[in-house]
Structure 1
Amino acid sequence: MEKKLADLLLSLHTDQKAHSFRSLHKHLEGTYNILKEWGNNEAICLAGLFHSIYGTNTFKNQSIELSKRCEVRKVIGDKAEDLAFLFCTTNRKFIKALEKRPFYLKSIVSEEIIEVNEEKLKALIEIEAANLLEQFPHLIFQKKRIIRKIKKMITDAEQYLSKNAIQSLYTVVKKYDKFPFSLLKF
């Protein structure tokens, strides 16, 4: 990771904030590394590195205020910051958004409905997959819930994920799920 990225994250005290039984910094770095390993472009990887920097619908701990988005944008670029912003500030019902076109997400900040194109929605689903897989080993009491989410992701969004993401998701399900994939109800 580039020094300017690490410096920004550390200046936001991500190393001092707890997330899934370790620091937020470790989680963000891990998500970035997974996206990199899967062969995603730099904007998606950087969005993964900052995917909960403004807080999310489940992780409420904001590292930087939304009014300071321009500071993040200067370091990671427009496309990456826009994806990170959408990940943080929408209800994250990315797979549900696939049900009809055009694709819409709901802001948890303003309650407005935000139209997103297929490219952005694919990127957000890819980031969510990396986010889930990165947390999985650290959330021992939530493994069943995460396995259910991963299975739903595979079933409903497989064509929107990279081949490497699908392979990683299947590997986790095969290794940790006690029931055959086809028999488990979502």
Structure 2
Amino acid sequence: MSERAVAWLRELGAQDVAHPGGTLLLHLERVRGLLASWGARPALQRAGLCHAFYGTDGFPTALLPLARRAELAEVIGEEAESLVYLYAACDRAASYPTLDRAEAVFRDRFTGRVHSPSERPRRDLAELTAANELDLAWIDPAFREAWGGELLSLFGRLRDLLSEPARRECRAVLGDG
């Protein structure tokens, strides 16, 4: 499945989209690799590889419109696609402050819908967020300088949602605060 996803990313031009550390495709592959190194299940790894398909709250370039979600699900599986959507739909300013709580307030930036995801989607969102942001912080010292303190605070709040390997990576890249 990942090979098909990479081929499709190439067809959609991800290797031509500028991104910190090179290109969007390189970033997506690094995020998938980081999740794999943390022992993430295959669906979460595929979501990491494809997390920017619909754009994100922090990266507006979309490779695919939301109307084509079924096509992405066919390539990476329904579970992985639902995680891609969750990540892309996350209104970070509204959602990150309470993500660590059982009654988290998650705001979908595409629909405006507000709901409280169960623990597993919150864990997946936290893990994917950590992999994405830590890749950027690792590869780009200016990004780490500008955002490192805020990320350290965010991942400190999300600590109980993150795997131990993700927590170790946070400390390695961002320090202990």
TM-score (norm 2): 0.91
Structure 2, unmatched stretches of 5+, are: none
- Judged with a 3 Å threshold, the aligned counterparts in structure 2 of structure 1 residues 144 and 5 are, in CA distance, closer, same or farther, namely same
Moved more, 150-159 or 28-37: 150-159
| Structure 1 vs Structure 2 CA RMSD | 1.8
- Judged with a 3 Å threshold, the aligned counterparts in structure 2 of structure 1 residues 148 and 11 are, in CA distance, closer, same or farther, namely same
For residues 87 and 102 of structure 2, what CA distance do their matches in structure 1 show? 19
Give the CA deviation at 1:18. 1.2
Q: Is the 1:132–1:146 Cα contact (8 Å) retained in structure 2?
A: no
TM-score (norm 1): 0.87
Residue aligning to 1:92: 92
Instruction: Name the amino acid aligned to 1:5.
Output: A
For residues 39 and 139 of structure 2, what CA distance do their matches in structure 1 show? 24
Give the CA deviation at 1:41. 0.4
Is 2:51 the counterpart of 1:54?
Answer: no
Give the CA deviation at 1:142. 2.4
Residue aligning to 1:184: none
Give the CA deviation at 1:110. 1.8
Give the count of matched residue pairs. Answer: 176
Superposed structure 1 runs of 4+ greater than 4 Å apart? none
Q: Identity over aligned residues, as a percent?
A: 25
- Judged with a 3 Å threshold, the aligned counterparts in structure 2 of structure 1 residues 31 and 99 are, in CA distance, closer, same or farther, namely closer
3-state SS of 1:5 partner: helix
**For residues 68-147 of structure 1, what are the structure 2 equivalents within 5 Å?**
68-92=68-92, 94-98=95-99, 100-147=101-148
Q: Is the 2:43–2:77 Cα contact (8 Å) retained in structure 1?
A: yes
Q: Is the 1:95–1:125 Cα contact (8 Å) retained in structure 2?
A: no
User: Per-residue CA shift, 1:29-84, capped at 9, x if unaligned?
Assistant: 00000000000101111111111110011211110010000010001111111111
Moved more, 143-152 or 4-13: 143-152
For residues 144 and 100 of structure 2, what CA distance do their matches in structure 1 show? 27
Structure 1, unmatched stretches of 5+, are: 175-179, 182-186
Is 2:33 the counterpart of 1:33?
Answer: yes
User: Per-residue CA shift, 1:2-34, capped at 9, x if unaligned?
Assistant: 421211111211111111152110010000000
For residues 132 and 148 of structure 1, what CA distance do their matches in structure 2 show? 12
Query: Which structure has the greater CA radius of gyration?
Result: 1
User: Per-residue CA shift, 1:104-151, capped at 9, x if unaligned?
Assistant: 311111212133111001110000100011111333322223321331
For residues 112 and 55 of structure 2, what CA distance do their matches in structure 1 show? 16
- Judged with a 3 Å threshold, the aligned counterparts in structure 2 of structure 1 residues 172 and 100 are, in CA distance, closer, same or farther, namely closer
Residue aligning to 2:15: 15
